[in-house]
A and B are shown apart, each in its own frame.
Chain A
Amino acid sequence: MENRIEKRIEIAAPILSVWQALTDSRQFGEWFQVKMDGPFVAGEAVGGQLTFPGYEHLRMEIVIQAIKPNSYFSYTWHPYAVDPKVDYSQEIPTLVEFRLEQIPEGTLLLVTESGFDKLPRERYTDAFRMNTRGWEQQMESIRGYVGKTF
């Protein structure tokens, strides 16, 4: 079984626009649906308040690992560490990496999240239970968002 998730998406915009949407914490928050407390700085932790519908009462924290302008951005976090009763600090976080490449159509974005093999079993059950309801809401929110944009 794979212990990592890999995604690739083509975006019809120059690398710089994609880069800013990823690494400017305010722009990041627009699509990730979180209001970050401050800028992204390599080696530093930064928290934020979720704006994702149904989860506005929750916070998330990420630790910025590397920022290589216009090509590579990475952070670690505890995925869906949203139960305030659980102390996640002893868990090994997963690593999220964004790689950008220029293509004729604009920008190719490769995203990987790795390290799921280090997660304890409870996280599968907890996170899944917590997200089944939220997922339906999120689909609604995306349909609304995309519909508005185009």
Chain B
Amino acid sequence: MSGRRSSGLAAKATIFAALGDETRLSLLAKLGKGQRYSISQLAEGTKLTRQGVTKHLQVLERAHMVHAKRAGRENLFELDPKPIQELSEYLDMVSKQWDAALARLKAFVESKHS
């Protein structure tokens, strides 16, 4: 067995960081329609340049929310919904743990008090 592995906080963009930007949210909304888009298609109808789109896609790729697929001369980008699903399931799990713990707290205090 190797040693403890670091969870690598510094190296990785978090999902919240990736989500914390209106431009990226609008890119995600477009990608969320379920198709693959080229950088030009993503820039279309926005004020973004191709470089601007590329920069934001890189952030999303680092958070594993978007994957690039090679198609001929260009890359096509598609959404991976898994990170957001996992995050939402995680917060749901933590939330339920709190519900359970606070129900135990209430029972504990009220039984002592009554």
Residues of A within 8 A of B (CB): 1-3, 5, 7, 9, 11-14, 17-18, 21-22, 27, 30-33, 79-80, 84-88, 90-92, 109, 111, 113, 116-125, 127-128, 131, 135, 138-139, 142, 145-146, 149-150
Contact = CB atoms under 8 A, between A and B. Distances in A.
B33 interface: no
A91 B7 CA distance: 7
Contacts of A31: 101, 104-105, 107-108
Interface of B: 1, 4-10, 12, 14-17, 19-20, 63-64, 83-84, 86-91, 93-113
B34 to A, nearest CB: 20
A13 B86 contact: no
Interface residue SS majority, chain B: helix
Contact of A18 (B10, B15, B109): B109
A145 B96 CA distance: 17
A21 to B, nearest CB: 5
B16 A1 contact: yes
Contact of A92 (B9, B15, B96): B9
B12 A124 contact: no
B99 A7 contact: yes
Given A18-B109, A33-B101, A122-B8, 8 more contacts: A11-B105, A17-B109, A84-B4, A87-B6, A118-B16, A120-B9, A127-B93, A146-B103
A121 B16 contact: no
